[in-house]
Amino acid sequence: MPTLVLAALALQVAAMDDPAQRHEACLALIGQNAELAYEEALAWRHQGGGWPSEHCVSLALIALDQAEAGASRLRAAAEGAVSATDASRAIMFGQAGDGFLLAEAPQDARAAFERGLDFAPGDSGLKRGVAQAALALSDAGAAESAASDALQTASAEAGRAEALRLRAEARLALGALDRALSDAEAARAVRPDNIDILLLRGRINEAIRQQQPN
């Protein structure tokens, strides 16, 4: 997008009186120009923008390849956002978890996803986040449990397929190869063209082949 258009958009964001609209516009600006969104969000925060402005600052930092710094700020913002809805706080903790995963900080990611579940206990995405972080920590048992919980509350096909993939990955690590393959096949039935699922299925089949006597 041309610089002049982005500048005009930033000015429009800054001129908004409705905090909810300004928040939405600031988040949208991240996808167009994260640096400009970061600057706008900082200015808004200094004007007393509260947690919505800090939310935008944090996500802009993550978009600017400062994932750990952005995730840390986002976690703090979520903790302090006592005026926000539980759903909003759960989303922020989930985004912080995603940021920590990008920063290769799985322990912090796991804690952020688990904290989000305090505000949205049935959220399948947060449970999948816990499973992903647990896998990164080589805690396959916890990953299997979290993925199973995610399956129970998954409403969308994509979420169900991802939960199955994560549980298959955990079961592969645990050596439960038949159950891992069953999950991988179920995930493939939902998302037949997903490359991650196909690669995982191949790894499981290879592990089964290696267990068979010559």
Q: Half-sphere exposure (CA, 13 Å, Cβ side) for 196?
A: 12
pLDDT in tens, 94-115: 999 999 999 999 999 999 999 9
At 9 the pLDDT is 53
H/E stretch holding 171:
helix 157-174
Q: Where are the domains of the chain?
A: 18-103, 122-214
Which whole number is the average pLDDT over 163-169? 98
Measured at the CA of 79, the angle between CA 166 and CA 46, to 5 degrees, comes to 120
Mean of the per-residue pLDDT values of the chain? 92
Band of pLDDT at residue 39, cut at 50, 70 and 90 = very high
The DSSP line for 176-204 is -HHHHHHHHHHHHHHSTT-HHHHHHHHHH
User: In which residue are the tokens 């539980």 written?
Assistant: 86
d(CA 87, CA 97): 15
Is the pLDDT at 192 greater than 70, yes or no? yes
At 13 the pLDDT is 53
Phi, psi for 213 (deg, rounded to 5): -65, 145
Is the pLDDT at 209 greater than 50, yes or no? yes
pLDDT in tens, 3-35: 544 444 554 555 556 888 999 999 999 999 999
d(CA 197, CA 1): 36
Predicted TM-score (pTM) of the model is 0.88
Is the pLDDT at 154 greater than 90, yes or no? no
At 18 the pLDDT is 83
- The CATH number assigned to the domain with range 122-214 reads 1.25.40.10
